Structure formats: C-alpha cells, structure tokens
C-alpha cells in the first residue's frame, strides 16, 4: 500500500515540476525580451535652449555673447556642452561676477541652475526663522551649524544687494541676502525676502528660477513653488544689468568660503511694460 501511494504521488509531482520549469523558462525569456524602463532625466537639464512664447534668450547656448566676462578672468567663466560653467576661480582683479551687457527694468526671468558639488564644509551656516532673523542658542547668540555649501546667485538691476540667493543653507534658495541681513530694513521687509518654503532639488540636480520684478516688488518661484511673494525692495534702481554671481575664495589649495561651483542654462527674459 505504501509503495502504491508513493508511486501515485511521484506520478503527480513529476508533471507539476516539469510545468514549473517551463514557466520559469518562459518568465526568464520574457524578462530578457523586455527592455529596462527608461529613466526620465531632469527636465530642466534636458530642455533645449528655446525661449517660451514672449521670452527671448540671454544666453545663446554656444558662447558668452551678450555677457561681460570679467577682465582678467582667464577662462574660468566658460561654456561647456551648452551650459555656462563656472569653477569659482576667476583671476579677475576686481568684480568676478558675469554681467549682461544689457540693462533691464521690469521683467520675468527664467533660468535653470545647478550646484555641481560642495567640497567646502561651511561651519558658519545659520538656522533662519520665518521672520528672517537667526535662531538663537541659550547664550543668546545665533546657532551655527556645519553644512556642505556652495554659493552663488542672481544679481538684479545692477546691484548685489538685490541678490536672489543660490546656496545650501537649510532655509533654501531664493533668499535676498542684502535685504534680509540689513538691520536698517523694516521687519516686514526682512521677513518678505526670506523663503517661505525650501524648494531646492538635490545637489547636482537642475533647478529652475522664475523671477518676476515689477517696480520694487519681487516674486521668486523655485521649481514651481513660490518662495518669495511680492517682496518690497526699498531703494532698488529702476534699471540695471543682471549678473551671475561669483562667490568663494581659495588659499593654499583649499576653499576657505563657499565657492560658486555652478552651472546655468536656459536663461530667458520677458520684459514688461508698465
């Protein structure tokens, strides 16, 4: 009886095992025939240098025509693979930032940017409160935190004071340093130029600013999120050029402040009539 039961069991299991083996082969073959899912690259990095309707390009994607390269720069501001690339090592004796030849009044500016790397650890970063002030420790002094940090920005209307910041502090990019840190500015002005949300992408990824400047009112949208909303910038000039900011210094082969290791592309402007 035992032998008969075993014989029956074996006769049932063998076909099942064979069917399983066939199914395994078919599944493996189907996997081999199916190409891997395509990854979607960052849209800001892959969008062609074609301005949207109503805009025109400030950067042609080929060279620095239309921009004032700092005298004595020696090739540190350059174009690589269709993007403006900077290594933060300009040899210019004076201003090292890259300015447009044209001046602008009211406008909407769209620009893609990315921080390439953060080799400098900034031991003096701060925690910025929603009102633009620094969070204090029990000793009444601003709390310092260490963060991997690179730093650049967009200067508006010819003045570094009106700088839309690009950096790695926890508050996020879009902050207007020159107004937020000015103790002579009213509290409401300093609060308004402090980002309402941290909207930066990861280091190495592309980001997109949309900067709207009408009169003395500034709005900044970062990656589709409004970080500055109609902030008032007292004393802002009526017209002026736009700049991509230099930042950082190196001594004895080491960075001693956050370098502007950045790239820019798709720089489009729409001038507005008032």
Among 72, 71, 51, CA closest to 61: 51
Check residue 216 and report its DSSP letter: T
Residue in the structure block whose two tokens are 């073959």: 29
Backbone angles phi, psi at 218, to 5 degrees: -120, 135
- Sign of torsion over alpha carbons 248, 251, 253, 256: negative
The span from the CA of 21 to the CA of 17, in Å, is 6
Q: Look at residue 273 in the predicted model and tell me its pLDDT.
A: 84
The tokens of 223 are what?
């990656």
Tabulate helix, strand, coil % of the chain (nearest 5).
15, 35, 50
Tokens of 194: 């402090």
Between the alpha carbon of residue 74 and those of residues 77, 86, 137, 150, 172, the distances in Å are 8, 12, 44, 22, 32
How many Cα atoms are found within 13 Å in the side-chain-facing hemisphere of 16?
5
Report the pLDDT value the prediction gives residue 7, as an integer from 0 to 100.
41
* Gap between the Cα atoms of 272 and 68, Å rounded: 24
Q: What φ, ψ does residue 261 adopt, rounded to 5°?
A: -90, 80
Structure confidence at residue 44 (pLDDT): 46
pTM, rounded to two decimals: 0.83
Over its length of 274 residues, how does the chain's per-residue pLDDT go in tens digits? Answer: 434 433 433 343 334 344 444 334 333 333 333 333 333 344 444 567 999 999 999 999 999 999 999 999 999 999 999 999 999 999 999 999 999 999 999 999 999 999 999 999 999 999 999 999 999 999 999 999 999 999 999 999 999 999 999 999 999 999 999 999 999 999 999 999 999 999 999 999 999 999 999 999 999 999 999 999 999 999 999 999 999 999 999 999 999 999 999 999 999 999 998 6
pLDDT value at position 46? 52
pLDDT for the residue 56: 98
Q: Where are the alpha helices (DSSP H) in 110-235?
A: 177-180, 187-192
Q: What is the C-alpha separation between 202 and 97, in angstroms, rounded? A: 24
* Phi-psi sector, 183: left (phi>0), alpha (psi -120 to 50), beta: alpha
Rounded Cα gap, residues 242 and 62, in angstroms: 19
């Amino acid at each position: 009886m035992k032998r008969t039961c075993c014989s029956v069991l074996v006769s049932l299991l063998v076909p099942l095992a064979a069917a399983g083996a066939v199914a395994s082969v078919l599944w493996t073959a189907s996997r081999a025939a199916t190409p891997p899912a395509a990854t979607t690259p960052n849209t800001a990095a892959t969008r062609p240098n074609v301005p949207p309707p109503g805009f025109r390009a400030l950067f042609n994607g080929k060279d620095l025509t239309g921009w004032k390269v700092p005298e004595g720069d020696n090739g540190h501001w350059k174009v690589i693979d269709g993007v403006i690339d900077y290594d933060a090592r300009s040899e210019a004796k004076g201003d090292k930032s890259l300015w447009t030849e044209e001046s602008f009044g009211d406008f909407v500016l769209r620009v893609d940017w990315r921080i390439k790397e953060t080799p400098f650890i900034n031991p003096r970063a701060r925690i910025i409160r929603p009102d633009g002030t620094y969070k204090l420790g029990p000793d009444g002094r601003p709390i310092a935190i260490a963060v991997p940090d690179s730093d650049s920005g967009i200067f508006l209307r010819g003045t570094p004071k009106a700088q839309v910041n690009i950096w790695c502090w926890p508050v996020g990019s879009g902050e207007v340093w020159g107004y937020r840190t000015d103790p002579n500015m009213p509290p409401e002005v300093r609060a308004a130029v402090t980002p309402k949300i941290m909207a930066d992408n990861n280091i190495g990824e592309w980001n997109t600013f949309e900067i709207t400047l009408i009169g003395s009112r500034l709005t900044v949208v970062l990656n589709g999120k409004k970080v500055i909303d109609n902030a008032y910038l007292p004393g802002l000039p009526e017209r002026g050029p736009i700049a991509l900011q230099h930042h950082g210094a190196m001594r004895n082969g080491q960075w001693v402040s956050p370098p502007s290791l950045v790239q820019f592309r798709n720089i489009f402007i729409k001038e507005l009539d008032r």
